[in-house]
Structure formats: C-alpha cells, structure tokens
Structure 1
C-alpha cells in the first residue's frame, strides 16, 4: 500500500466511512477506490482520471483535494499526451466528414423543397386559368337580356330584366391554434456535490453531450425506481452523444469544463474547472 493510499484510507476509517458508502457518495466504483488505496493505478480507466478520482476520494473523506494532489504529485501518474492525440485524431476526421455530408444533404433538401413549392404554385395557377376560360364564347362574355331566347325569365310589368346574382359563400371558420408548452429545466438545489434540476412540461428527458475540450469520461444512469446504468465511457474532442430517458437520470462528468451539456434543449452550467461534476435531472410529469 502506498503512502498516499494510507493517508486516504486513514481519513476514511477515522470518519467511519465504508468503501460502499464512499462508492455511493463519489459514484466511483469500489474496485477503483480499493486500487487507489493500494496504489495500483493501472486498474483505473486511464491516467487522465487518476487525479480526478483521487480528488473526489479526498474531498469525500474531509481532506483538501488540491493539497493532497500537490503533496503527492510525484507519485500520481501524469496523463499520456501521445495517447490522447492518437485517440482524438480519428473522431475529428469522422466529425468533419459527417458535417460535410450534413451540409450537402441540407442544401439538396432545401433546393428540392423550393422546386416543389414552385411546381405546386404553377399547377394551381394553370388549373385556375383553364377553369376560368372554359365555357366562355370566343367573342367575349355574353350579355344576358330579356331578348335572350329560352334563357331569360319573363319581363316584369315595368319591362326591367331580372338580375342574376351569385349565391353568397358561407365564411370558413378559422381554426384556433393549440398552445405549445415549452419544456422547462431549472436548478433547484446543490447538495453533497450534486446539482439537482427539475424538468417540467415534458414526458421524457433528452440529454445531449458534446466534447469541446480534449477528452472527458462520462456516465449516465436511469434513477426512475431502481438505478440502472445507461452508458459510460471516455468521449474525445468533437464527439457528440444523446440519450433519451423516460424518467429521472443521474450524470457524472470526469472533466466538466471539457463538455457542453443540454437537457431538453436547455444548456446546463457545468462550470469552468476540470473537476468531477455530478448532476441529477428529476422529471416531474404532470
């Protein structure tokens, strides 16, 4: 067991916190917590998250996370920049190709839509013109008088003709538009390192994540009833991911300032520090 692991374990034992309790508070797997205490950092998902996990452990047992990292910075392995560069290269190329294809497809759809609209307008204008010309004599509109044979009614005593009038059309009622209620996402509290949000006016959660920094480890869980893991992993620069959850959800970010997060179209404040950040989105169905 390393000196850093002894320090962290001693603080945990003094506070009478079990590894299971610590796992629940930090949302870090028990196997990773044991590996930190034993100094076996190879078990962790990557050197990039060793410091973040140690900070979360230290904060949960009442130690100053920044001071702990500073004291043992020579012991804690540094992230490997070469691996990050290699893993980030392919997603960037894939992202650029996807963006080019999306722009090309959008342009084709827009041009096709304009052509379709012009075709519909031409069809109706031409059809109305043909209908208006049918039944008219070549010399123009025929005047109806009392001398027209078999068509005009009998003249009145005053000798005036009976004017023909078109029937009035009944007004078409205008449909009343149905009001659209916009989903609302609101921060209600922050307790024990977790930001709690209330989501209303929606039947489900749509969580969107986009990596704007170098890389970020993320985990998304469903907490409607029994807690269930939806997805976890490391996402690199340019990657975007979305999840749909029927109930409430829990989210952990390993490096919060490296990503952008939206819930039902509303941006979530992830802060500007490269620390672990935890959120819970409670869906309040009406």
Structure 2
C-alpha cells in the first residue's frame, strides 16, 4: 500500500476501498474512475475492464438505493391526509387564539375601570366654606383686628461673632555663620520637640542663658525630648549634627535654611 501510494499519489484508504470495492468514502464518481485507472496501470491490470466492472457495480447499487427510497402508496396517502388535516386545523386554532386575546384584554380593561371608580367613590367631598356673620373674625379673641400684618416675620437676631482662630507662623529671618534666626508669631504657646535619628549634640538655652534641656550632652538615635518654653522670649538650640536632628515647633517641623552640619537655631517668640 505504501508503494502504491507513492506511485499513484492516492491515499491508502482510497486504494483499500478500490481493492474491497467500497467506494463510499470516495469524493465523487469522477475521482473514483480516475483512481481506478491509476490503480490498474500501477498494478498491471486492464484499466478498461476494471472501469466496466465498476460501472456494473455502481449501476446495481444505484438501483438498490432507488428501490429503498420508494415510499409505499399507502404511507404517502396517509401523509397527505395528515397534512391536509393539519392545514384545515391551523385557521381554526388562529381564530381561537384571537378570540382568547380579545377576552383577556377586555377583562383587564374592566378591572382597571372598576378600580378607578372605586377610588373615586372613596374620596370624601370637600366641605363648602361657610361664613357665620354672628362670629367675630379670627385673629384676636374679641374679634378686633391685629395690628401685625399677616405673614410678617420677626427679625432674626444677629449671629454671634465667631472668634477668629489664628494659625501660628514660623518665619525664617536671616542666617549668619552658624546662627539661623526664626520668628514665631500668632501662637498661643511655644513648645519644642526634638527627635534624634543619630548621634548629635543638643543644648537648649533661653535669653537668660538658662539651660532648658535636662543636660547639654550627646544624644543617640531613638532619643527625643519635649519642653514648654512659652515663658521665654527666645531660645537658642545648639545642634551638633543637623542631618540627625528634627526640630518641631508646636508640632510644625522646622526646615533648616542652611546646609551646615553644626548650627545654632535661634527662635524669637512674639506673643
């Protein structure tokens, strides 16, 4: 089969069908005749004789197929009879469905009209306005007219003034050598917080050169200190290493104005 396939260029399943006289998998009668001719020439058989055998077998199979497709007269008549009955019943079914739809629509409209009439009857008629000439007009107990005009509203009291809350201002003033001067204004209090991130020297003194820290010394990473210096006019913070030290004035971080490692931060407090 492999040799025949390489010689004839015909797939092996078609070659096997020719040998077994099974042409059901063939693509068409034209290809069947061409395959039989190539197959006969490849194996040394008479191509015309093989084709005549194929034609006879194909003729017999077509006769069998035609006889199998013949419908008995009784079945055909019964089918026609069933179709005619169905065709007669379809118009009746359509008319019946149309009548049912009309009845349903009428019933829905009747229900809606009945509910609307019921809602109208439930409403109470408004009482007509009557005027009793013997009764004094409303407005005052004795019937006298009120001097105040109808709809006049009393003036609303002036809102209480809201006390303006000032926000503190921490301003850089100038820098000279290691000294950097800042001014603190509009602050109710003056509190310092110093956070240490690495080894540094810290000393805080006021205008009287009074030490405000526990002691002026070297502090290490993780140390921090807080102090209330509201009573001072200014403070001087000696910082050994600015990059390891953060200074907060009333929780506002002070930004160094100089890149010097060692600085004296002077904060003047204007009350």
TM tier, smaller? 0.3 to 0.5
TM-score when scaled to structure 1?
Answer: 0.37
Q: Which has the higher contact order (CA 8 A, sep 6+)?
A: 1
TM-score when scaled to structure 2?
Answer: 0.39
Which of 1 and 2 has greater Rg?
A: 2
